[in-house]
């Protein structure tokens, strides 16, 4: 599912450790996300060297595909 061309389904479960239950500054969080995406892109040569915490060993291409799909999934929640 994570590497297929199909987008993630709506309503998939979220691990409790990732749930945000407090108030957040949207602009601050958006800024932080932008920096994380830039860091992911800048460190391409390191991608694929560390295993994914859930999926294990992945190639750089698999990391890129999964990150794109994950980010797209959440951006669609905001109508972006």
Q: What is the dihedral of CA 42, 80, 70, 73, to 10 degrees?
A: -170
pLDDT digits over 65-78, tens only?
Answer: 888 888 888 888 87
What's the structural domain count of the chain? 1
CB hemisphere CA count around 36 (13 angstroms):
9
Q: Is 52 contained in some domain? A: yes
- Domain residue limits at 32: 24-77
Q: Is 19 contained in some domain? A: no
Please report which confidence band the pLDDT of residue 80 belongs to, taking 50, 70 and 90 as the band edges: low
pTM (whole model) above 0.85: no
Q: Any idea which residue has 């860091």 for tokens?
A: 39
pLDDT digits over 43-66, tens only?
Answer: 877 877 888 888 889 888 888 888
Residue 30 and residue 46: Cα distance in Å, rounded?
Answer: 24
């Amino acid at each position: 599912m994570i590497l297929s061309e199909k987008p993630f389904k709506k309503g998939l479960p979220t691990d409790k450790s990732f749930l945000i239950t407090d108030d957040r500054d949207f602009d601050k969080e958006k800024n932080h996300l932008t920096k994380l995406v830039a860091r992911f892109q800048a460190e391409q040569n390191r991608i694929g060297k560390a295993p994914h915490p859930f999926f294990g060993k992945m190639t750089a291409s698999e990391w890129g595909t999964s990150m794109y799909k994950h980010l797209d999934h959440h951006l669609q929640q905001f109508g972006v």
